[in-house]
């Protein structure tokens, strides 16, 4: 088990910079999830950590030892690929023991470790089968088995669930969480799926355009996003943004006016951090914070364009007067709103998010969530 430290990592493909000044500390036993949209450089970063790709600048340390030029095999990492990368010509047991056989470990040790892995991963009945005769979930487990028999210091996962169907994905997600608990190993997991990130991760590294946007606990990136990108990326449906203007600031709040939103001046509890009266800003509203005909002080009225009835909930889409953008709101599943009708939503001013014109978020000050506090305390511990 080990810590992983990335310092000032730069990587280029030719002249294109795909990783820019990456600085991340991953603690021993962390389940770190690298989250970001396609092409953000998350898989490249994982491959750089694994030693499958070279980086041009910066230091990678695993367990305190700098590994910049160490070959992949000697970094003490186990990696799970999106395609599982099982050797099609080898049986399950040969696949699992591949690394140990290549390293010339004793037959007795190989047998013991394979049996142990097969027991943990419920693969005992399949040891003599070829990968082509296994289901997606079983193949996934064989790939995990291949990693765990070598007892690596760090496990690397490259979108391991993306080839599975929805039901199996939930199942495997739980199994991975259990595996992390039982092995207490450091794991780094790449995904574009925020649900995987939120449910599995103890630490989330949000990436965009080759840069780390924010590192934090799952609820931290949800409640205290560092910028507009993170705020928009985390949460489903996405956060919506409305234009506004700063009317005044105090040490603990920023008063803003947002066209189409009442009252005319809303006092948002957040650190002003350089904002002053007259500045253009954007406020962010999460669909789940809006309450249909609620009693909170901030009110928004919009013209209903579409309502999606999902069963467990409904999503309302509509236009707000004086704003070009569409708003999305979460509706209770029993509510009915007709297309073309006006709908009024309310929300707590503490639930508003504030961003400057460069997209930097202002730290919110009245975030009241016990789970967030617990996660933060655990992260500090």
Partner 1 sequence: MSTEFRALKRYAVPQQFALLILAALTWYPFLFLLATSVKSPNQFFENYWWFTFPFDWANYAQVWPKVSVAILNSAQYSFGTLVIVLILSLLGGYTFGRMKFPGKNVAFLCVVALLMIPGVLTLVPLFVEVKALKLLGTPWALILPFAGFEIVIGIYIMRLFFERLPGELFQAARIEGANEVQLLLFVALPLALPGLGTVAILDLLFTWNELLWPLITVGDATKMPVAVAALGFKGEHQVDYGALFAAYVSVSIPLMVIFVAVVRKFIKGIEGI
- Binding region for partner 1 (CB under 8 A): 50-52, 71-73, 77-79, 81-83, 85, 87-90, 98-99, 102-103, 146, 150
Question: Which of 16, 17, 20 minimizes the C-alpha distance to 8?
Answer: 20
Q: Return d(Cα 179, Cα 251) in angstroms, integer.
A: 46
Q: Is the separation of the CB atoms in 230 and 271 below 8 Å?
A: no
CB of 83 to partner 1, least distance (A): 5
CB of 148 to partner 1, least distance (A): 12
Q: Which is nearer to partner 1, 95 or 220 (CB)?
A: 95
Q: Which is nearer to partner 1, 98 or 315 (CB)?
A: 98
Q: Which is nearer to partner 1, 72 or 372 (CB)?
A: 72
Q: Which is nearer to partner 1, 64 or 88 (CB)?
A: 88
Return all residues near 193 (Cβ < 8 A) that are at least 6 apart.
161, 162
CB of 242 to partner 1, least distance (A): 44
CA dist 49 → 58, 145, 211 (Å)? 12, 21, 15
Conformation bin of residue 313: beta by default, left when phi > 0, alpha when psi is -120 to 50: beta
Number of other CB atoms surrounding residue 154 within 10 Å: 25
CB of 29 to partner 1, least distance (A): 21
CB of 121 to partner 1, least distance (A): 17
Q: Which is nearer to partner 1, 83 or 182 (CB)?
A: 83
Q: Which is nearer to partner 1, 87 or 309 (CB)?
A: 87
Q: Is the separation of the CB atoms in 140 and 159 below 8 Å?
A: no
Q: Which is nearer to partner 1, 44 or 194 (CB)?
A: 44
CB of 77 to partner 1, least distance (A): 7
CB of 72 to partner 1, least distance (A): 5
DSSP per residue, 165-219: -HHHHHHHHHHHHHHHHHH--EEEEEES-HHHHHHH-SEEEEEETTEEEEEE-HH
Q: What is the four-CA torsion angle of 195, 201, 207, 213, rounded to 10 degrees?
A: 110
DSSP code for 69: T
Question: Which of 77, 97, 73 minimizes the C-alpha distance to 86?
Answer: 97
């Amino acid at each position: 088990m080990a810590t992983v430290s990335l310092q000032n990592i730069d990587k280029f493909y030719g002249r294109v910079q795909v990783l820019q000044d990456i600085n991340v500390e991953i603690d021993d036993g962390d389940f770190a999830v690298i989250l970001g949209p396609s092409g953000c450089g998350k898989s490249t970063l994982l491959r750089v950590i694994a030693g499958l790709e070279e980086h041009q600048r910066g230091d990678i340390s695993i367990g305190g030892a700098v590994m910049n030029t160490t070959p992949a095999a000697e970094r003490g990492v186990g990696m799970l690929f999106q395609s599982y990368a099982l050797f099609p010509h080898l049986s399950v047991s040969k696949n699992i023991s591949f690394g140990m056989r290549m390293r010339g470990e004793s037959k007795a040790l190989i047998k013991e470790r394979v049996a142990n892995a097969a027991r943990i991963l419920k693969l005992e009945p399949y040891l003599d089968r070829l990968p082509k005769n296994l289901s997606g979930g079983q193949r996934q487990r064989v790939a995990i088995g291949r990693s765990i028999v070598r007892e690596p210091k760090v496990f690397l996962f490259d979108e391991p669930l993306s080839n599975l169907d929805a039901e199996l994905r939930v199942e495997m997600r739980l199994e991975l969480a259990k595996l992390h608990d039982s092995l207490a190993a450091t794991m780094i997991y790449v995904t574009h799926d925020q649900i995987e990130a939120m449910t599995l991760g103890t630490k989330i590294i949000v990436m965009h355009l080759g840069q780390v946007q924010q590192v934090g606990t799952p609820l931290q990136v949800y409640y205290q996003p560092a910028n507009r990108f993170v705020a928009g990326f985390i949460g489903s449906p996405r956060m919506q943004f409305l234009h506004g203007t700063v009317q005044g600031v105090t040490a603990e709040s920023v008063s803003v006016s947002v066209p189409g939103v009442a009252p005319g001046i809303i006092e948002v509890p957040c650190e002003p951090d350089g904002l002053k009266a007259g500045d253009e800003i954007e406020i962010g509203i999460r669909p789940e914070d809006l309450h249909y005909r609620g009693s909170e002080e901030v009110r928004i009225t919009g013209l209903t364009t579409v309502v999606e009835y999902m069963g467990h909930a409904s999503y309302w889409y509509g236009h707000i007067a004086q704003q070009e953008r569409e708003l999305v709101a979460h509706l209770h599943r029993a509510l009915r709103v007709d297309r073309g009708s006006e709908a009024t939503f309310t929300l707590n001013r503490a639930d508003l998010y504030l961003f400057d014109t460069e997209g930097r978020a202002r730290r919110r000050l009245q975030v009241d969530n016990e789970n967030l506090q617990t996660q933060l305390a655990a992260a500090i511990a």
